[in-house]
Structure 1
Amino acid sequence: MHVTLDILIMLFFVACAAGFIDAIAGGGGLITLPALLAAGVPPAQALGTNKLQSSFGSFSSSFYFIRKGHVNLKEMLMPIICTFIGAAVGAELVQHIDASILTTLIPGLLIAISLYFLFAPQTRAPSSRQPMSMNVFAVIIGTSVGFYDGFFGPGTGSIFTVCFVLLGQFTLVEATARTKILNFTSNIAALIFFIIAGLPVWKIGLVMAVGQFLGGRLGATVVISKGTKWIRPLVIIMSMLMAMKLLWEQHHEWLFSLF
């Protein structure tokens, strides 16, 4: 497809904003995917291109968290492996299975996540409870949420974050740092399948990748410097926006029929 310079510049800045938001709270795809569709990219190619550019954003923020010592990769090895396997299976199965069941269930989960962060009095789970071991977390949460991201995707970052807080007893900053590692893992796993299928539009994807990388780096910096002051409200906002978007896609015809 023919892409003009002004469209590439617009998509670059869209990717910058999405990378920034995604590093803090997830949900950057709410911005980039509609922008790609509006630019005239066919839906299947838009999904592949979106996964290509978002992988650079999640890599940028992950690398920053690792370099600053907020994540120990040795500790995350098992979750990374399980998340990759889950995402790979999900990305393969989505080509053969109807995703309508997930589209029905996930808005309620996103609303629940936003309400949790809205009303939770602390950023760490009660210390009287034993945190879930990282190996158990990897097998149960890494595999299942990774599968979900490869199969469908919206809200993956928010789901990982709340699982790290509730089950792993991490602070919100610690949970966000670990979430980006697993987000990058599932992005790469799904991207491999999109590349094999020849879906990404490389010219657009690589331009947006630069914007995602810069935005992801800035967002990761904000997470460390501002902590829960920025994370909590953005997680709430992005979770509610994703839920409303999915509900609108599912029920807008019924809503129009009422008037």
Structure 2
Amino acid sequence: MEFILFFMVGVVGNVVGTLVGGGGLISLPTMLLMGLPVHSAIGANKVSNTVSSLTSFLVIFKQKEVTTKEALSVVALCLGGGILGGLIASFLTGETLTIIAIVLLSFAFITSFIGKGNFEGTESLRVNKKSGPALLGIGMYDGMFGPGSSTLAMYLYASQKIAYIRAVGLARIGVFASCFGASITYISTGKIIWPLTLALMLGAIVGAQLGVRLARKLKSEHVKPLLRIVTVLLIMQIVIDYFK
């Protein structure tokens, strides 16, 4: 029964995560409620997201909606950030990670009302003084904690006037890179409970494929409201967990 539940969690979490980020809103609390240690739950998320995000990115990449140059830029920054984040996490308390998550997500939520990006642009990703450090920071955050990292990336791509389906592809390859880097750390420290992680991974692959197909049908004007809803839910969940 546990394996079926983990499979379904992977499906639902990755549909949401692919569309607007925030898949951790579903998967992490469920795993923690089932009694998984926090580092094992985060590690399972990282390993499953590494595989599922790559499969969904490849679907978009094959349609030539993301260039190789863009993908490699995101991979380099998020992979480095993910490795650093995974290492830093081992030195930080759960309370500190929670506070970092609340601050980052609150900042993203507030700036979403200030920025003019709405996923209707036609720009390519340009790594500059703003986007470069932001991608590195998102990778670090994903390696350290995770919930909301894709959501933060989507806000960044909206501010860069990048079209929605391209933003989804870039967010997915970014998740792959940062989760791959973090997974190395979690696997090497023996935090992974493999049977449950594999069940989550299979569900995540199915969910990611469904999410990519739904993304093509989602209108750009609906994305930002959905992002804001997911962001508020993420903040609420993290605050509640913190006070528990």
TM-score category (smaller protein): 0.7 to 0.9
* Shift, 1:88, TM fit: 0.5
Q: Is 1:50 matched with 2:45?
A: yes
> Which letter maps to 1:41?
L
Q: Is 1:243 matched with 2:235?
A: yes
Match for residue 106 of structure 1 among 77, 88, 101: 101
What per-residue deviation string (whole Å, max 9, x for no partner) do you get for residues 17-37 of structure 1? 111111101111121122222
Q: Is 1:60 matched with 2:55?
A: yes
**110-119 vs 170-179, which deviates more?**
110-119
* Shift, 1:75, TM fit: 2.5
Cα distance in 2 for partners of 1:248, 1:151 equals 19
Verify the 8 A CA contact 1:173 1:227 in the aligned structure 2: no
**104-113 vs 44-53, which deviates more?**
104-113
Verify the 8 A CA contact 1:83 1:143 in the aligned structure 2: yes
* Shift, 1:150, TM fit: 1.1
Call closer, same or farther: CA 1:201–1:221 in 2, change over 3 Å: same
* Shift, 1:126, TM fit: 8.3
- SS for the counterpart of 1:134 is coil
Match for residue 85 of structure 1 among 80, 89, 94: 80
Structure 2, unaligned stretches of length 5 or more? none
Q: Is 1:146 matched with 2:139?
A: yes
* Shift, 1:11, TM fit: 1.5
Cα distance in 2 for partners of 1:202, 1:59 equals 20
**202-211 vs 105-114, which deviates more?**
105-114
TM-score norm. by structure 1 comes to 0.83
What per-residue deviation string (whole Å, max 9, x for no partner) do you get for residues 200-254 of structure 1? 11111111111110110110111122242653343222111111112223345xx
- SS for the counterpart of 2:192 is coil
Structure showing greater radius of gyration is 1
**99-108 vs 84-93, which deviates more?**
99-108
**95-104 vs 49-58, which deviates more?**
95-104
Q: Is 1:164 matched with 2:157?
A: yes
Cα distance in 2 for partners of 1:148, 1:121 equals 25
Matches within 5 A, 1:188-199: 188-199=180-191
**1:187 corresponding residue in structure 2:** 179
Cα distance in 1 for partners of 2:72, 2:116 equals 31
- Aligned residue-pair number: 244
Q: Is 1:218 matched with 2:210?
A: yes
Verify the 8 A CA contact 1:89 1:150 in the aligned structure 2: yes
Verify the 8 A CA contact 1:52 1:205 in the aligned structure 2: yes
**182-191 vs 136-145, which deviates more?**
136-145
- SS for the counterpart of 1:226 is coil
TM-score norm. by structure 2 comes to 0.87
Call closer, same or farther: CA 1:80–1:242 in 2, change over 3 Å: same
Cα distance in 2 for partners of 1:126, 1:20 equals 24
Verify the 8 A CA contact 1:118 1:236 in the aligned structure 2: no
- SS for the counterpart of 2:216 is helix
Call closer, same or farther: CA 1:141–1:204 in 2, change over 3 Å: same
Match for residue 133 of structure 1 among 114, 126, 129: 126
Verify the 8 A CA contact 1:51 1:187 in the aligned structure 2: yes
Match for residue 12 of structure 2 among 3, 17, 20: 17
> Which letter maps to 2:154?
T
**2:32 corresponding residue in structure 1:** 37
Match for residue 207 of structure 1 among 190, 199, 204: 199
- SS for the counterpart of 1:46 is helix
Call closer, same or farther: CA 1:162–1:99 in 2, change over 3 Å: same
> Which letter maps to 1:201?
I
Verify the 8 A CA contact 2:77 2:136 in the aligned structure 1: yes
**2:148 corresponding residue in structure 1:** 155
Cα distance in 2 for partners of 1:125, 1:99 equals 38
